[in-house]
Amino acid sequence: MTTEISQEVTAESVVLTDAAATKAAALLAAEGRDDLALRVAVQPGGCSGLRYQLFFDDRSLDGDHAETFGSLKVVVDRMSKPYLAGAVVDFVDTIEKQGFTIDNPNAGGSCACGDSFN
């Protein structure tokens, strides 16, 4: 199965697939909010040392890097950007799994749950 990507993968940015951008935009529309961006971040924690965070945010932080995928604005903070450069966020909806996934070329290893990496 081939995954469509909304824009070119670059070494400097996070990229959302069409499925991820569509799902995130639908979640925002269900909330009735057009003032929020999808924030993709890395925080200390998890069983492998760092964990991913995806959430809707109305804040604009100093040093944020922003990309637009269709109608969806995606932001990455200055500290998370090096860890997420070239990462692809996808949304899967299968009988085995449903949710957002991150394929990160910077991850040296990850835990079985896929929510943390090192």
Q: Which residues contact 80 (CB under 8 A, 6 or more apart)?
A: 40, 41, 42
Return d(Cα 105, Cα 34) in angstroms, integer.
31
> Which regions of the chain are under pLDDT 70?
1-11, 46-48, 109-118
- How high is the pLDDT of residue 49? 75
Look up residue 44 and give its two tokens.
């200390």
Identify the three-state secondary structure at position 20. Answer: helix
pLDDT in tens, 13-27: 899 999 999 999 999
Check: CB of residue 88 under 8 Å from CB of residue 8: no
User: Residue 94 is encoded by which pair of tokens?
Assistant: 């299968």
pLDDT at residue 2 in the model: 44
Predicted model pTM: 0.79
